[in-house]
Structure 1
Amino acid sequence: MLKSYSWIDNHDLAIRGTKSRFNKIYKISNFLNIERFCLGIGGFYPTRIKRTPLIKLSTLFVYFITFGQMWVVTNFVVSTTDLSEISEVFLFSMTQVGFVSKLMNFLWRIKQVPLLDQMLEQEIFTRVTTEEMTIWKGTFKRVQRYLVIFLSLCAGVVVLYGVIPAIENTKSDRKHYPFPGRFPFDPDRYYYVIYIGEVVAVAVSAFMNGSGLDCLFTKHTVIATVMFKILCGKIEGLLDNVDKGERSAVEKRIRHCIVYYNEAVNYVSLVDRIFSYGILVQFLCSAVVICLTGFQMMLVMSFQSVKLGLMAIYFTCMMCQLILYCWHGHMLMEQSRGITQACYSVDWNNMTIKEQKMLILIMERAKKPITIKAAGVFHLNLATLMAILRSSYSYFAVLRQLYNKTK
């Protein structure tokens, strides 16, 4: 059930100086419409798209493509001892493992997903001032530009996976596929069917993983970060436009900030519960994929290879995916730390003892920064990003030694 904060209307003159500046409703949840649609057409987002027979068929298709392709590449890895071929196929299969893990975790928690939408529709978040609306819109536009770059890289990977084998076919008599696999039949007899199927598998994974799950989590994290940014502004302006005869307004403002803080913390906690286990597997897979992609580019492929461009874009795409998680998680942590500084910046000497105690309550709660964890193991911050990159380099060094010994 949505909570109502109608008392804001009764005291908006004391809170922001003019009534017109506070009578604005901004639908924060509209920022998530694209991701809801992307997951909804696959039948993976609740309550947004009616589960028609076509949607159910689409869901089965995604499952079939994803798990079928993993079975094919797994059989190939088991049947070969060539380290360069294993690494080429394994980097794609690890990407698939990360995607499937996030998808299964999301479906496991899917009953809690509508609660996020309900929390964003609470009046305490949607009723904003002109300045706060500017912050929301400006942040959303900036983040959307970053996500467009990430999605463009994903699209580039899909296109190159489809184009490069066709180029290689013109240079040799042997038929080339987007990625090798082992089939219980002669794949050359069904070359075009398998070729199109593999490209579709890459496209479906990129669409659901990048456009759906990755962007959805990133936007939820950004929304939480803006909540704490706005809260800092509310705290810093506790004494703005307050006359001596309106001291009761300060106490109401502090109570409003406490409620706002509690709701923001609850929102972050719910985001953490829904996505955290999938993020842990994604981090482990990302460390392996970055290592294998670097191994392919630096040791296996020559500079004349047409696949070098594919590996370069793939590497950049995986790095961007990892940065999306860690950077925005770090920004959330830093913004939540700013609440204590905002409390210090208030002219608390002009507050009553009761108001000072209420302010101290906020400061004590804000001593521990708000973070999102990967299954309670890793914090999403820049330190974790560097740890993953160090691990990737360690794996790369081991692979390089093994590869040099087998040459």
Structure 2
Amino acid sequence: MLFNPKPLMYPANFRFPLQCIWLKFNGSWPLKPKMSGEFEKYFRLLYSTWAWYVVVMVGITIGFQSAFLVNSFGNIMVTTENGCTTFMGMLNFVRLLHLRLHQREFQQLLAQFVKDIWITSSTYPSVERVCVRNMRVFQVISLLQSCLITMYCILPLVELYMLTVNTEPDILDSVPKPFPYKMLFPYDANHGWRYALTYLFTAYAGICVVTTLFAEDSLFGFFAAYTCGQFRILHTQIDNIIPDSYAATRAGRGTEAVYQRECVRRLDRIAEKHCVLFNFVSRMENFFSPILLVNFLLSSVLICMVGFQLVTGKNMFIGDYVKFLVYILSSLSQLFVLCWNGDNIIQNSLEMANHLYACDWECGVKLAAANANINNMHPDEQMKNLAPIVYYSTNTVFRKKLQFMIMRSHRQTCITAMKFSILSLNSFSGLISSSMSYFALLQSFYENEEN
């Protein structure tokens, strides 16, 4: 009942990244476009209800965190510590809301990927292996972020246990209980079943936030890796367009005119696939760019705050130190891998022009029919028995089309954050530079407050 498109060739070998299962658990995965049975309609209603419940749950938890952030705004240390989780929650609340409101676009993107971009191991094994290898980095990042949310959910329980051991029973009820994140509640959440329920509610909201983060990033990397693989396939086809056209012509015992038509036919097929890749990248940009914009706006602030906690934190519990260390590693790696994949798309698209220009369009194929015994003859006899050179060249139609393709390939194919920034390694370096600037500003405020 969930939308699960399959390619026409080798459908059993196709699967989305394992991390995407969390998008299905969180209610963010699109359903099949048509459901006719009563059970399917009932399932659609339940699934949509659950999806909106997850969105509301994350929104309420962010509200609790924001209330604490506003209440402690004057304290730099507390504000930066709470700002890490609050801004992370805001980022992924936008992701959840975006996925929920753009189910049709999500469905179309998945369908186009399966139809036009997927690469099977039986057709291009070397390219497919590179795509699979590029996805391993997302598995590592997913593991890091899973460890992060586990620490956020488990460490407060350890703190609660230590609190019950070291505190007198009559004083324990008046001591504030630890939660996964710093929050301010409009009710008394420190006693009995209300504490347990609030803890579970906010902890699962955090799980939904982090799993949505690495699941959607893994899906983006999946699309980007195989798109770059398709570009590399086109590069190889362009390099071989002249010899392959001649081989096809000679197999059919064709003439020079047949050879020229074969060259044009193969170039048209490459141009058609080139346009398909442009359209898919454009659809990726339309779908992911709002999320990327929010990610770019908040990532530099998040990295700055976590780095500030690591550098200036005094008497920090070892668990909190490890938690912030994993936090900054996962944030930096997540941002770097997104920019790295965007940069790969840019580089592979620009490389098309080099391969098009270097495809031997200017010389074509030179042929000379040689006598089998010509090496044993006298030089004068060799000249007499040497067959004339036959020259197969590309025609004007081929060269004009090639020229247009080169001109188009000079314009980079890229993914932007709502046109404000291009997803590339240059953007990553700019974000790190901004984070360092914010860090220096925060540190100067902190030093002035200390003095």
Farther off after superposition, 358-367 or 344-353: 344-353
3-state SS of paired residue (2:30): coil
- Rate the CA distance shift 1:222–1:26 in 2: closer, same or farther, 3 A: farther
Number of aligned pairs? 381
The answer as to 2:420 corresponding to 1:377 is yes
Provide the C-alpha distance between the structure 2 equivalents of 1:191 and 1:268, rounded to a whole number of angstroms: 47
Mean alpha-carbon deviation: is it higher for 36-45 or for 213-222? 36-45
Residue 148 of structure 1 and its aligned partner are, at CA, apart by: 1.1
**1:25 counterpart = 2:9:** yes
Provide the C-alpha distance between the structure 2 equivalents of 1:78 and 1:158, rounded to a whole number of angstroms: 24
Hey, what's the Cα distance between the residues in 1 that align with 2:344 and 2:26? 31
Between 1:30-39 and 1:283-292, the stretch displaced more is: 30-39
Q: Which runs of 5+ in 2 are unaligned?
A: 1-7, 34-39, 168-174, 365-393
Q: Does 1:165 align with 2:149?
A: no
Q: Which residue of 2 aligns with 1:152?
A: 143
Instruction: Tell me which residue corresponds to 2:78.
Output: 85
SS at match of 2:339: helix
- Quick one: structure 1 residues 73 and 128, their matched pair in 2 at CA, closer, same or farther if it must change by over 3 Å? closer
Question: Given the superposition, is the C-alpha separation of residues 322 and 28 from structure 1 closer, same or farther in structure 2, using an over 3 Å criterion?
Answer: farther
Any idea what SS the aligned residue of 1:184 has? coil
Per the TM alignment, residue 125 of structure 1 is displaced from its structure 2 partner at its CA by 5.1
Cross-structure match for 1:177: 179
Query: Does 253-262 or 342-351 show the bigger shift?
Result: 342-351
Match of 2:368 in 1: none
Structure showing greater Rg = 2
CA distance in 2, matches of 1:45, 1:178: 27
The separation in 2 between residues aligned to 1:153 and 1:344, in whole angstroms, is 44
What does residue 26 of structure 2 align with?
Answer: 42
**Residue identity matched to 2:149:** V
Farther-moved stretch of structure 1 (276-285 vs 237-246): 237-246
| Secondary structure of the corresponding residue to residue 31 of structure 2 | coil
Matched, 1:313 2:363: no
Alpha-carbon distance in structure 1 between the residues aligned to 2:187 and 2:120: 63
TM-score, with structure 2 as normaliser: 0.78
Matching of residue 362 in structure 1 with residue 413 in structure 2: no
Match of residue 271 from structure 2: 258
235-244 or 153-162: bigger deviation? 235-244
Per the alignment, residue 114 of structure 1 pairs with 107
Q: Is the 8 Å Cα contact of residues 64 and 185 (structure 2) preserved in structure 1? A: yes
Do the aligned residues in 2 keep the contact of 1:75 with 1:181 (CA within 8 Å)?
A: yes
Counterpart Cα distance in 1 of 2:202 and 2:85: 11
DSSP-derived class of the 1:185 partner: coil
In structure 1, which of residues 62, 67, 78 is the aligned counterpart of residue 59 of structure 2?
67
Sort the Cα spacing of 1:128 and 1:145 in 2 relative to 1 into closer, same or farther, 3 A: closer
Q: CA deviation at 1:131?
A: 5.2
Higher relative contact order (CA 8 A, sep 6+): 1
Residues 55 and 93, structure 2, Cα contact 8 Å, conserved in 1:
no
Change (3 A) 1:346 1:383: same
The yes-or-no answer on 1:222 pairing with 2:206 is no
1:341, distance to aligned residue in structure 2 (A) = 1.1
Residue matched to 1:390: 433
Q: Residue deviations 1:303-360, cap 9 Å, x none?
A: 6532000000011111121012100000110011110111122111212222222211
Identity level (%): 20
Relative to the length of structure 1, the TM-score reads: 0.86
